[in-house]
Amino acid sequence: MKKKNFVTLILSTIGGILFALGMCMALLPQWNAMTPGVVSGAAGLLVLLLMIFVRRRMEGKPVIALSFRSVAIAVLGIVGALMLGLGMCMVMLWNLLVAGIAVGLAGILLMLCLIPLLRGLED
């Protein structure tokens, strides 16, 4: 395993665990730990952002080059994930089965659109 892959593995694991634990702490009222959950989630996000910068540095690439295309792709991915989550909430929490499935499928389709945008189409 290359060093950059190992460092990415460690940092993404730590960041993911901190973020997930923070989300559970903040969103589960039984735990009564909203403030520590927000702090833990923010720490997890910071570790994940740090991982991106460290990985790019180890590859010898510039930190991040923002363009309209990269921002649009990120927005498309975020909107797709939120629509999928909204569809799941509609089905599981609000008992709106058909509408929830439709919204969830629309979110999945938006996220599927990311594949040709990122990889392109080949013969």
pLDDT score, position 62: 84
For tokens 């702490």, the residue is: 25
Dist. CA 123–CA 119, nearest whole Å: 13
Amino acid making up residue 32: N
Condensed to tens digits (0 to 9), the pLDDT of residues 55-81 reads 999 999 887 778 999 999 999 999 999
Q: Is residue 104 predicted with pLDDT exceeding 90?
A: yes
pLDDT score, position 120: 84
Q: Is residue 50 predicted with pLDDT exceeding 90?
A: yes
Chain mean position to CA 24: 16
Taking the model in full, what pTM does it have?
0.66
pLDDT score, position 121: 81
Distances (CA, A) of 109 to 3, 80, 113: 36, 8, 6
pLDDT score, position 122: 81
Q: Is residue 102 predicted with pLDDT exceeding 90?
A: yes
Can you tell me the mean pLDDT for 100-109?
97
* End-to-end Cα distance, the chain: 33
pLDDT score, position 63: 77
Mean pLDDT over the full length of the chain:
93
DSSP tag of 60: T
Dist. CA 21–CA 5, nearest whole Å: 24
Hey, CA dihedral for 118, 45, 16, 93, is it positive or negative? Answer: negative
Q: Where are the domains of the chain?
A: 1-65, 66-123
Can you tell me the mean pLDDT for 17-28?
93
Instruction: Output the six-digit token pair for 97.
Output: 């089965």
Amino acid making up residue 47: V
